[in-house]
């Protein structure tokens, strides 16, 4: 399956190039002539890793046996390819359906609990110490920026507050409304590029941090309400792990906010807002 031009049924001249659906600049996503989604990666190795992750998830309890499956059905990897193909889902993401995230929260909780409980043990681990190492690299990137000193100070606080990982589960790594698809059959997760075996708090924290930072950029008063609601629903579904999750939550919320301050282009263009995100990360570690 390749990104060949779309060809009319009558066999005439190609009508259009593959239509871009979105994605990051280094990982664009296209609709192919076969009616599939093709995600492009910068290297063969990156594509092979992404394909292996999706294949393993599809074979887990989160995949084909779930109703509906928790992710798009992946297609077999092509040797040497830099693209990963999967089924095209009907519908929109929750971020495109503003205001629906709260009403669909029980289904969002179900999706996350099922991912964390799918039993998958394949994949790269991301321990809390690994999170700290990642934050230290980001601090080095920002050393010469306006927020650099404050960012580094929060990383040092996070290092001193690194929690003990009591369990590592399959985590999405970018669990936010932008990666939850609302389809005719139910909710599904997309974009597993940050998939790691990590603490459940990693995903729970990122959901709240995404809402906090997004509200800030929309000039609304940021709040942890959405994150707290997800936390309550999640702990109701997985009460056995609630104590360890809540103990690690402040660390992972701070880490999520720092990752957002480092990576979101809208914050790179708004140093004042970025500084507020870093300050909130510090508060989460207080």
CA distances for 19 relative to 32, 34, 58, 81, 187, angstroms:
7, 12, 26, 19, 24
Q: Which residues contact 281 (CB under 8 A, 6 or more apart)?
A: 154, 253, 254, 255, 257, 258, 261
Task: Please indicate, yes or no, if residue 42 is contained in any of the structural domains.
Answer: yes
Q: Looking at the structure, do residues 101 and 210 belong to the same domain, yes or no? A: yes
Task: Please indicate, yes or no, if residue 38 is contained in any of the structural domains.
Answer: yes
Cβ contacts of 217-222, under 8 Å, gap ≥ 24? 217/266, 217/267, 217/270, 217/273, 222/276, 222/280
Q: Looking at the structure, do residues 165 and 84 belong to the same domain, yes or no? A: no
Share of the chain above pLDDT 70, in %: 94
Q: Looking at the structure, do residues 130 and 224 belong to the same domain, yes or no? A: yes
Residue 285: closest CA among 252, 261, 250? 250
Q: Looking at the structure, do residues 108 and 53 belong to the same domain, yes or no? A: no
Q: Looking at the structure, do residues 116 and 169 belong to the same domain, yes or no? A: yes
pLDDT tens, residue by residue, 114-164? 999 999 998 899 999 999 999 999 999 999 999 999 999 999 999 999 999
In angstroms, the CA 275 to CA 150 distance is 8
pLDDT of residue 17: 66
Residue 3 has pLDDT above 60, yes or no: no
The last residue of one of the domains, among 60, 88, 116, is 88
Q: Looking at the structure, do residues 253 and 167 belong to the same domain, yes or no? A: yes
CATH number of the domain at 67, please: 3.30.200.20
pLDDT tens, residue by residue, 206-216? 999 999 999 99
Other C-beta atoms closer than 10 Å to the C-beta of 23 total 16
pLDDT of residue 10: 45
Q: Looking at the structure, do residues 180 and 45 belong to the same domain, yes or no? A: no
The last residue of one of the domains, among 47, 67, 88, is 88
Q: Looking at the structure, do residues 138 and 247 belong to the same domain, yes or no? A: yes
* Structural domains of the chain, count: 2
The last residue of one of the domains, among 36, 69, 88, is 88
pTM: 0.92
Q: Looking at the structure, do residues 104 and 79 belong to the same domain, yes or no? A: no
* Structural domain span for residue 53: 19-88
Q: Looking at the structure, do residues 277 and 161 belong to the same domain, yes or no? A: yes
In angstroms, the CA 86 to CA 75 distance is 5
What average pLDDT score do residues 57-73 get? Answer: 98
More confident residue, 244 or 1: 244
pLDDT tens, residue by residue, 228-265? 999 999 999 999 999 999 999 999 999 999 999 999 99
């Amino acid at each position: 399956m390749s990104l060949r031009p779309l060809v009319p049924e009558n066999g005439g001249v190609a009508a259009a190039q593959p239509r871009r659906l979105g994605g990051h600049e280094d990982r664009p996503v296209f609709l192919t002539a076969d009616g599939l989604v093709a995600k492009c990666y910068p290297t063969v190795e990156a594509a092979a890793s992404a394909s292996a992750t999706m294949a393993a998830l599809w074979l887990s309890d989160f995949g084909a046996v779930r109703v509906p499956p928790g992710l798009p059905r992946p297609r077999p990897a092509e040797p040497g390819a830099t693209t990963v193909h999967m089924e095209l889902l009907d519908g929109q993401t929750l971020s495109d359906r503003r205001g629906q995230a709260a009403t669909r929260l029980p289904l969002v909780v179900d999706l996350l609990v099922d991912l964390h409980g799918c039993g998958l043990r394949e994949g790269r681990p991301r321990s809390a110490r690994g999170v700290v190492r990642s934050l230290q690299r980001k601090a080095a990137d920002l050393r010469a920026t306006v927020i650099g000193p404050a960012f580094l100070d929060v990383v040092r606080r996070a290092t001193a507050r690194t929690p003990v990982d009591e369990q590592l589960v399959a985590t999405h790594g970018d669990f936010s409304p932008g990666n939850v698809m609302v389809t005719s059959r139910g909710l599904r997760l997309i974009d597993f590029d940050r998939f790691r075996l990590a603490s459940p708090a990693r995903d729970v924290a990122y959901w709240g941090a995404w809402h906090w930072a997004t509200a800030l950029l929309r000039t609304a008063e940021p709040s942890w309400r959405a994150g707290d609601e997800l936390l309550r629903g999640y702990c109701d579904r997985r009460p056995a792990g609630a104590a360890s999750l809540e103990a690690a939550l402040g660390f992972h919320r701070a880490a999520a906010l720092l990752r957002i301050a480092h990576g979101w282009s809208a914050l790179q263009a708004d140093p004042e807002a970025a500084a507020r995100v870093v300050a909130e990360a510090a508060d989460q570690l207080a």
